[in-house]
Chain A
Amino acid sequence: MSIALTAPPPSRMRLGIRTGLIIAVLLLAALPILNLLPRDSAFHVSDFIVSVTGKWICYAVLALSLDLAWGYAGILSLGHGAFFALGGYAMGMHLMRLIGPRGAYGHPVLPDFMVFLGYTELPWFWHGFQSFPYAMLMVMLVPGALALVVGFLAFRSRITGVYLSILTQAMTYALMLAFFRNDMGFGGNNGFTDFKELLGMPLGTPSARAVLFYASLVLLVGSMLLCAALTRTKYGRVLTAIRDAESRARFLGYDTTRHKLFAFVLSAMLAGLAGALYVPQVGIINPGEFSPGNSIEAVIWVAVGGRGTLVGALLGAFSVNALKTWLTSAAPDLWLFALGGLFVAVTLFLPRGLIGLFDRVKKGRGA
């Protein structure tokens, strides 16, 4: 019976992926250092590259969180951008409170938009955000709580597949409309901007850029390790089982509502953290972040990279965003067609994404 007792050894494919990941992380980590080299050095990396890569790292965390929900638990969320945006708003509220009397109106407590809109005192939900730990807690709790409520109602009523996708899409759309309203207390369509500092560090400086970059990289590596560890436990296999045959899993005695909810909430929290690190790097958060298009784009990243593999999500997030950055400056009108075309092409020709392609090449070589 020894055949049953030993787990199969990790495949060469998996070892190759691990090596590739370590090299990729080291390369990324080198970017802010290369940025310090003199401008005429051949290895100099521009400010633009550093800040754009920092953004992509946040997108990669979002892709990772979506892959956990979609690739493993089968929850095709078309509203994951909402969790990202909520995390971003929570961070934005902290940054706004830190501006203090340095705003254009010079009010000691109220952010500029509140003075402008005639607020006389801070709304109750803004209290506490001046504290960094509190804001960080909210970065995870608010997206997590939303995922808990929406997920509980949907999963308990056994809403799955396309209906669930539409529901999540409606969720992010509704939030976008709500955040556009001035009387919500979140700055309406202008959102938050003009941030001054974070943790005593002035924003917009090269050192702040490097710190935020490394913080994002740490989040990415941490999320990757967490998701990889999680999906390798029996829980990961339960999620796959639910994805492929939910009712069978139920008859095996698994309360699939609880399992899906756990993954969905965890995923929303990761997306919130990604959004929180994104906002200080781009310097603005507005209701546009809730737009359904953003969530759909995130789904395309995961589909392009290859869902249910984690690595694929990272690969997809970086490659599609690199393409976007290049194309939106080279031929801005073509980007949406390219994005749509990419999705169709991947669905038709690469159902397992770029990762599947590597696999196929390896097999072709007989490795």
Chain B
Amino acid sequence: MKGRSLYLDGVTVVFDGFRALNNLSLVVEPGELRAIIGPNGAGKTTMMDVITGKTRPTSGTVRFGDMDLTRLDEPTIANLGIGRKFQKPTVFDDLTVFENIELALKAPRGPIACIKWHLTGEAADRIGQVMTEVGLVERAHDPAGILSHGQRQWLEIGMLLAQDPELLLVDEPVAGMTDAETEHTAAMLVGIAGKRSVVVVEHDLEFVRALGRRVTVLHEGSVLSEGSIDHVQNDPRVIEVYLGR
């Protein structure tokens, strides 16, 4: 592992006069699992958009190792090793679970390379391994469109794993999940961290507690508080803007 850290400094994003991010600074160390919480409109999704190249910051620095992410587009950033899971699970419905993971699997991404691609035993093993990790082996040849909500979330996490990223950005992974599914997902993410850095955006405080790692609280586009879950839950500013409501 190269062990690059994610570094945001003084990032501001202005949409039509509205400051979605306001001088946001944040560092995520290699292998760290970081939870990010905050009320609606705190800038959590905008922050993900900035890191993955979907939105260009108005000002500020965004670096991954020594790469300046503000200059790169989405596919380039993805290929640098930053994977993203969306709030609403987005998988390719017409393709099977196997094919979804095959597309995510780290491999050359150009048209010609994709035409020439053939499934090696090694690649098939890797896909099988990922499907096992997210518990979808039995569904391998089912189209993703017929999976349940929770299974779609896992398939997406599986696709992230297949990308073999250094940094995973996970947006509200447990929204709409049952308690058992939530627990399973927390364990899955804790297992992933260490080998990779993981940033999880979540509303569900019980889930964040289950992760048991460092928490950053966003409010109005900047960092309000940072520390353990107990620390932020007892921070009077956090209580005022978020937990107190």
Q: Which residues of A contact B (CB under 8 A)?
A: 1, 3-5, 8, 230, 233-235, 237-238, 240-241, 244-245, 247-256, 258-259, 262
Contacts and interface: CB of A to CB of B under 8 A. Distances in A.
Contact of A244 (B73, B93, B114, B159): B93
Contact of B114 (A1, A234, A247, A250): A234
A3 B124 CA distance: 11
B109 A248 contact: no
Contacts of A8: 141
B110 A255 contact: yes
Given A234-B117, A241-B92, A3 B74 contact: no
B92 A254 contact: no
A237 B124 contact: no
Contacts of A5: 121, 124-125, 128
A235 B111 contact: yes
Which 8 A-B residue pairs are closest in the complex by CB-CB distance? A253-B78, A235-B114, A4-B128, A1-B128, A262-B111, A250-B74, A234-B117, A253-B79
A94 B11 CA distance: 61
Interface of B is mostly: helix
Contacts of B128: 1, 4-5
A252 B103 CA distance: 8
A259 B163 contact: no
B111 A258 contact: yes
Contacts of B110: 255, 258
15 contacts: A1-B129, A4-B98, A4-B128, A5-B124, A233-B116, A237-B95, A244-B93, A251-B52, A251-B74, A251-B83, A251-B86, A253-B78, A254-B109, A258-B110, A258-B111
B75 A245 contact: no
B132 interface: yes
Interface string B95-107: 1001100111000
Contact of A255 (B75, B92, B127, B159): B75
Contacts of A247: 54, 74, 90
A2 B98 CA distance: 13
A250 B75 contact: yes
Interface of B: 52, 54, 73-75, 78-79, 83-84, 86, 90-95, 98-99, 102-104, 109-111, 114-117, 121, 124-125, 127-129, 131-132, 137-138, 140-141, 159, 163
Give the interface centre of B84, B110, B132 by most chain A CB atoms within 10 Å: B110
Given A4-B140, A8-B141, A253-B109, A233 B115 contact: yes
B78 A252 contact: yes
Contacts, number: 95
Contacts of B79: 253
A4 B78 contact: no
Give the interface centre of A5, A237, A248, A253 by most chain B CB atoms within 10 Å: A253
A252 B163 contact: yes
Interface of A is mostly: helix
A253 B124 CA distance: 20
A248 B138 contact: no
A295 to B, nearest CB: 25
A252 B159 CA distance: 8
A250 B125 contact: no
A249 B75 CA distance: 8
A354 to B, nearest CB: 19
A259 B125 contact: no
A1 B117 contact: no
Contacts of A1: 125, 128-129, 132, 137
A248 B86 contact: yes
B90 A245 contact: yes
B102 A237 contact: yes
Nearest to A256: B75
Nearest to A3: B140
Nearest to B78: A253
Contacts of A237: 92, 95, 99, 102-103
A235 B118 CA distance: 11
Nearest to A242: B92
Contact of B137 (A4, A253, A258): A4
Contacts of A230: 115
Given A4-B131, A253-B79, A254-B75, A241 B103 contact: yes
Given A249-B103, A252-B103, A259-B114, 15 more contacts: A1-B137, A3-B141, A4-B140, A5-B124, A234-B114, A235-B111, A237-B95, A237-B102, A240-B94, A240-B95, A245-B92, A250-B74, A250-B75, A255-B75, A262-B111
A266 to B, nearest CB: 9
A234 B103 contact: yes
A240 B143 CA distance: 13
A255 B129 CA distance: 27
Contact of A238 (B52, B114, B159): B114
A253 B99 contact: no
Contacts of B91: 245, 248
A216 B223 CA distance: 66
B78 A251 contact: yes
Give the interface centre of B79, B99, B103 by most chain A CB atoms within 10 Å: B103
Nearest to A248: B90
Given A256-B75, A258-B111, A251 B84 contact: yes
Nearest to A1: B128
A249 B104 CA distance: 9
A262 B124 CA distance: 27
